[in-house]
A and B are shown apart, each in its own frame.
Chain A
Amino acid sequence: MTTAVDTAPAPAAPSPAPAGGGRPRRRLLRGEGSGAPLLVLPTVVLLGIVIVYPVVRGVWMSFQKDPGLDKATGMFVQGGTAGFSNYTHWLLQQCAVASGGTTPCPSGNLGAEFWVAVGVTVFFTVASVSIELVLGMWFAMIMHRSFKGRGLLRASVLVPWAIPTAVTAKLWFFIFDYRGVANRLLGTHLLWMGDAWPARFAVVIADVWKTTPFIALLLLAGLQVIPDEVYEAAKMDGASAWQRFTRITLPLVRPALVVAVLFRTLDVLRIFDLPWILTGGGGGSGHATTTLSILVVQQIRQGFSSAAALSTITFLLIFAVAFVFVKFLGANVAGTPEEGR
């Protein structure tokens, strides 16, 4: 392919530069970055196909009417533009009626479940992330402190992370069975999946079990970059353990903390598999654990355009939260070299 001489295989041994002869005929990519567009192009094209195109199509769909039988005339209609009616269906619970106007959605209609789903999703997010954060910080500090058995610790926290969420959900479904081990250990006789709040807490518990290890590992990596000398100096100055934690550990681990919270928040806001499999999508009287993502999937079977509107709303919500994090909390998710280097 090229006429270059093979001088490279032993990079550690500095060999003298060859005198000209072995230069390839191809233009040398001396100027850094001149080849970048070519390297990046496949990614841009592929992301365009798998993300941008579906999103654009989804947004377009959300402004369309579903083709189908018009209830008023009994005629097949070809769809057409719907304006914002698919959005008002969710945000204001307005359902279309035969006469052409709108009416408040009756209970039982998925539209009426929108704000409930928002509440459930926000509850899952706040509960899971805050518990995971406190527990994860504690785990990370123990892992940081213990020198023996670090391998065992790392292995055991990776196990919940490695188990597929679908299996995790089934496992906790079994644990939370009426005759299962949760009721036995707690001495309770709860129908975990039958009541709203037990079902919700079951989801939170399973989620906390699975993802606390991930947070602990992120925070551990953050703890490991704090030099010991800082703690030594603080000890010399007579700082108590609590002061060392709040004045040194927390501020210095903050970048890792913010990133962990951001990742987990965005993750729980789009949660689907765990509540869907663990509680059968409903829980309690039917919608106790219905998150926004679950509501979208339920809506798909009843009409694409409404589902597209709801998934667009979900997407915008998550995007807004991410924006707030990056903008106001200064989450340096990109790990840009300008900072800290």
Chain B
Amino acid sequence: MAVMTAPSRAAGVARRRTRNRNVRTFAGVALIVLWGLAPAYWMVVTAFRRVDYTFETSPWPTHVTLANFRTAFDTGLGNHFARALVNSLVVGAVTTALAMLVGVFCAYALARLQFRGKYVLLGVILASSMFPPVALVTPLFQLFTDLHWIGTYQALVIPDLSFALPLTIYILTAFFREMPWDLEEAARIDGCTQGQAFRKVILPLAAPGLFTTAILAFIAAWNEFLLSSELSSDRTQPVTVAIASFAGSQPHQEPYTAVMAAGTIVTVPLVLLVLLFQRRIVAGLTAGGVK
């Protein structure tokens, strides 16, 4: 580490400065890790704590119990958490599948082809991704009431597409721009059609990008709250809405430990996904942002 050929005072100063810098960086790193993990850790610790010790502030797991998870799934209090989990899975999966199916072609065209109205379309897609969902809630609520769709899955999937589709196209376009398109040319010279070159050469190479985009779209749909809180019924309620209105055994008393248990269940799969694919997800999140 030290520069052996410069045993002067300057080298010592530089070394000390480097060490100070390292200490500062290390402190910064510790702070960021604490920032990200401490509140989440608190949720998990509380989820495993006995309900009569809800406000215990010991930072370590104390009074450990699984009872809160049983309470979370208990339908006796009017909570239908298990059903809400299924609803969120179905709505998230269908939304993601539809958005990917439609978006992949559009993104390919945007990244790869020149056509009239390309930048107008890009602008429209960007504008839709910045669109406030409240502007959809009022007309859709009235429309779906007229159609007797409140309480159906399509009443949740269709509005979710309003943000999932622009998001999908946006990220996919950025991924596709980075692809080695020379290979497509090579395949075309070898006799493939444009469609074949896309299917056999580009698609396998794009698989990681597609997968990341699907994860991001699914997370967005899984986390959605505003549209589903207005457009779902008790039967189709997703987890976010269920958790927001979780009922406890005592009226007017928030069932914190059960809510934290439910929150942990909802969060753990996402956090695992994110940790497994963190490199890709960061690439997806920042795609297009800094090009």
Pick the contact of A17: B121, B138, B189 (CB < 8 A).
B189
Note all chain A residues with C-beta closer than 8 A to B142: 57, 61, 304
Q: Is the interface of A mostly helix, strand, loop or mixed?
A: helix
Is B138 in contact with A174, judged by CB distance below 8 angstroms? no
Any chain A CB within 8 A of the CB of B288?
A: yes
Q: Is the interface of B mostly helix, strand, loop or mixed?
A: helix
Note all chain B residues with C-beta closer than 8 A to A24: 193, 196
Q: Known contacts A40-B106, A153-B32, A177-B55; is A333 also within 8 Å of B126 by CB? A: yes
Among A275-325, those with CB < 8 Å from B are 276-277, 292-293, 296-297, 300, 304, 307-308, 311-312, 314-315, 318-319, 322
Pick the contact of A221: B128, B192, B290 (CB < 8 A).
B290
Interface size class of A (residues with CB under 8 A): 35 or more
Complex: A138 Cα to B46 Cα, angstroms: 31
Choose among B32, B159, B270 the residue with the greatest number of A CB atoms under 10 Å from its CB: B32
Note all chain A residues with C-beta closer than 8 A to B93: none
Q: Which of B60-68, B69-77, B259-267 contacts A (4 or more CB under 8 A)?
A: B259-267
Note all chain A residues with C-beta closer than 8 A to B134: 270, 272, 292-293, 296-297, 311, 314
Pick the contact of B291: A167, A273, A335 (CB < 8 A).
A335
Note all chain B residues with C-beta closer than 8 A to A172: 39
Any chain A CB within 8 A of the CB of B225?
A: yes
Shortest C-beta distance, B176 to chain A (Å), equals 12
Any chain A CB within 8 A of the CB of B103?
A: yes
Known: A57-B143, A272-B226. 7 other contacts (CB 8 A): A28-B194, A32-B113, A46-B102, A50-B165, A142-B28, A260-B289, A304-B142
Q: Which 7 A-B pairs have the closest CB atoms?
A: A335-B291, A156-B36, A36-B115, A142-B28, A270-B132, A166-B240, A43-B106
Chain B residues with a Cβ under 8 A of chain A: 21, 25-26, 28-29, 32-33, 35-37, 39-40, 42-43, 46, 55, 57, 102-103, 105-106, 108-110, 112-115, 118-119, 121-128, 130-143, 158-159, 161-162, 165-166, 169, 174, 177, 183, 186-187, 189-197, 200-201, 219, 222-223, 225-226, 229-230, 239-241, 243-244, 246, 254, 256, 259-260, 263, 266-267, 270-271, 273-275, 278-279, 281-282, 285-286, 288-291
